[in-house]
A and B are shown apart, each in its own frame.
Chain A
Amino acid sequence: MTDPNTVQLTEDGRLKHFLTTEGLSRELLTEILDTADSFISTQERAVKTVPLLRGKTVVNLFFENSTRTRSTFELAAKRLSADILNLDIARSATSKGETLMDTLWNLEAMYSDMFVVRHSDSGAAHFIAEQVTPNVAIINAGDGRHAHPTQAMLDMLTIRRHKGDIEGKIVAIVGDILHSRVARSQIHALRTLGAAEVRVIGPGTLLPSDIESMGAVPYYDMRAGLADCDVVIMLRLQKERMQNALLPSEGEFFKLYGLTKEKLAFAKPDAIVMHPGPINRGVEIESAVADGNQSVILNQVSYGIAVRMAVMAMAMSGQQTPVNSEEPA
């Protein structure tokens, strides 16, 4: 099993799980964006639910805590009329003797139709998709440093809605690329959707080795990296990085890579500023930029629900109809 897409696609090329943006065709990525676009209009109505997942059970399976991402998936599932179960399985629960496999078998016994999975191990969603019984769709809500494909797609939707198209755009991703599943998923999606150039900006300690092999151009100098950019994506900096000898201090990081009005002026005048959130004001971005008129950070959050609705609906229709339609647990 070498190609991740043999796992996430049906034989006729439709989505049955959503594990990674890597290797997905431009048509499929565009279909996700188009579907999400259509859901944005339903979000503006008084009655926001559509019946696409009526009678289906979605389980939010979070091995790593994340209130925000979990909430947007929960809301997306509810707006698709699914029943939703939230399970916060702290990593400690599995280390108490129950293996990941035991957890999965227990959940399968509840006849769920979809697992939304977040896990600290890269490849965890892929692993779960290979292990679960057929007819259960897996949506990757973030696995280790590997992928966060729904976040990347909501970022693509944001760019498309604010810049018209991704084709031909210069996009810079700034900060801790090494530990970022968001950056990896963005790079794959941006490349496939025709971005002219994807730049990654940060110190050598936070840029992974051979990042060029993914089609990204590394920059150590923020101003040079931002020159002529259409889109600037800032990443969140975790405090642990200082303890692992990756960075000396938040102050020095902000001086070199923090997004200020002065640095943003090197990008195109109509460049947009994005951030997957939650933001660290004064660490990777100054408030004047985060709240400024080039920032689309809050728009990203609202598009997140539409994108998650889109991939959930698409993956569910890519699954075969279950032989026995059981009552939801």
Chain B
Amino acid sequence: MRYLHIANARVINPQTQTDEITDVFVADGRIATLGRRPDAGEIEHTIDATGQWLMPGLIDLGGHIPEPGYNQKGSIASETEAAARGGFTHICSLPDTKPVADTSAVVKLILEKASKAGFSRVLPLGAMTQDLAGEQLASIYTLSEAGAVAMSNARRPVKNSYVLRRLMEYAATYDIPLFLNANDLSLSGGGCMHEGPVATRMGLPGIPETAETIALAQILLLVEQTGVRAHISQITCRRSVSMLQQALENGLRVTADTPLANLLYTHEAVTGYDSLYNVQPPLRSERDREALVQAVARGELAISSNHSPHEIAAKKAPFSDAEPGMSQYDAFLPQAMTLVSREELTVEQLVRALSLTPANVLGLSQSLTEGADFNAVLYDPRGEYTLTASEIASGGHNHPLLNRTVSGKVAQVFLEGCRIS
């Protein structure tokens, strides 16, 4: 047996709640031993990881992958490469491609192209409804068989409570998990930022908190009634955090995530009409941001990317005309680490929300323990570089750190023992 030896890394593993400087030995894509040399075999290669942090690979619960259909924004290869550079070993692709992922052909195409590209593994989310129109059920059993890990309607609305109820009942029959976005379009429609003092001053149509909380209440009540396995994607409001807490106290099995941008920025970022900060769901108030950070700290929320790459023309428009979303995959982990350097989260809390919590949502294991797949990120906390356009792998340069200094660097990323970045 020949081993990869990672020496002197600070190994942070939320699953076992360990954080210690130790050595890791990898063979056949798995962690052979931790903290001790294997009894037999030789070392093929040693990585001196002194001063570096080794953590489980990040798992994204939702990013927009523009292929098929939106080649001007990027490809499966470009976005999975960007994801790997950001520290992700696995990413869930949202189904809002063109055509949408409502047939097994699209799901298989995504899986095939991603596997050929050889970067982060893509876990496709299938469309819950045909053409994501929110009216007729998509063939979710077939999509699930084809490899879709869960079903989602992206942020598009489901027509009414009746359709949502039947969708949940049908999915529950086959234990297919649903990723649901809480967005009442009758309240959010036409809005392009959080409704509040900044929107009022800037004269931009707002999206009230109730667009999320009313839809969330509807979802939670129907989840309770139908017993479906449900994950709430991209919550942004303080009130939603407490509604989820209450649902959990009542014994409802439901998980949730929040986009990284909502932990880093608030609606104040929109001042100056920088279309970069036109995102859906919108950036909310500081109170909301703080509540989300605290929920992450308590382990109640996973952090997702909501990665949305766009070509330059899509963002070069007056604020409300620009297409919403931020390119997030490149430099994702260093960005997220600013929550640690600001002392809002501990490293353990952050890594948990980026790896273990999403793994639990998907029923995967992502842990640095003996015998486990070696899915890991080696992170250099002292690394520093400028994220220039040529350094960005994603097709979307609408990245908040474009041409800015990034503190911390993803040094290496491994998926089942193979280096993908």
A contact residues vs B (CB 8 Å cutoff): 1-4, 22, 99-101, 119, 121-124, 126-127, 131, 143-147, 181, 184, 208-211, 213-214
Question: Quick check: B200 and A214 within 8 Å, CB to CB?
Answer: yes
Task: Check A210–B197 contact: CB distance below 8 A.
Answer: yes
A123 in contact with B316 given A147-B203, A214-B201 (CB within 8 Å) = no
Does A123 lie within 8 Å of B319, measured CB to CB? yes
With contacts A126-B273, A209-B200, A214-B200 taken as known, whether A119 is within 8 angstroms of B318 at the C-beta atoms is yes
| B175 contacts partner chain A, Cβ-Cβ < 8 Å | no
> In the assembly, what is the distance between CA of A123 and CA of B319, in Å?
7
- Minimum CB distance partner of A124 in chain B: B318
Do the beta carbons of B200 and A2 come within 8 Å of each other? no
A123 touches B204 (CB 8 A): yes
Given contacts A127-B317, A127-B318, contact A122 B204 (CB under 8 A): yes
Contacts of A123 in B (CB 8 A): 202-204, 273, 318-320
Contact A121 B320 (CB under 8 A): yes
Tell me which residues across on chain B come within 8 A of A100, comparing CB atoms: 317-318, 321
Q: CA–CA, A147 to B200, complex, Å?
A: 11
Contact B316 A209 (CB under 8 A): no
Task: Name the residue of chain A whose CB is nearest to the CB of B312.
Answer: A101
How distant is the Cα of A140 from the Cα of B368 in the complex, in angstroms? 58
Is B40 in contact with chain A by the CB < 8 A criterion?
no
Residues from 16 to 31 in B contacting A, C-beta threshold 8 Å:
none
Chain B count of residues within 8 A CB distance of the other chain: 24
CA distance A305 to B132 in the complex (A): 52
Known: A184-B201, A209-B195, A209-B208. 14 other contacts (CB 8 A): A1-B274, A4-B272, A99-B313, A119-B318, A121-B320, A122-B203, A122-B204, A122-B320, A123-B273, A143-B203, A144-B203, A144-B204, A146-B204, A147-B203
B196 at the interface (CB under 8 A from A): yes
Are A146 and B202 interface neighbours, CB within 8 A?
yes
Question: What 8 A-B pairs are tightest by C-beta distance, nearest first?
Answer: A146-B203, A145-B203, A123-B273, A213-B197, A210-B197, A121-B318, A122-B203, A208-B200
Q: Which residue in chain A gives the minimum CB-CB distance to B314? A: A99
Closest to A1 in B: B272
Please determine whether B197 and A99 come into contact, CB atoms closer than 8 angstroms.
no
- Per-residue CB contact flags for chain B residues 258-274 toward chain A (1 = under 8 Å, else 0) read 00000000000001111
B395 contacts partner chain A, Cβ-Cβ < 8 Å? no
Q: Compute how far the CA of A4 lies from the CA of B272 in the bound complex, rounded to whole angstroms.
A: 6
Partner of A121, one of B195, B199, B319: B319
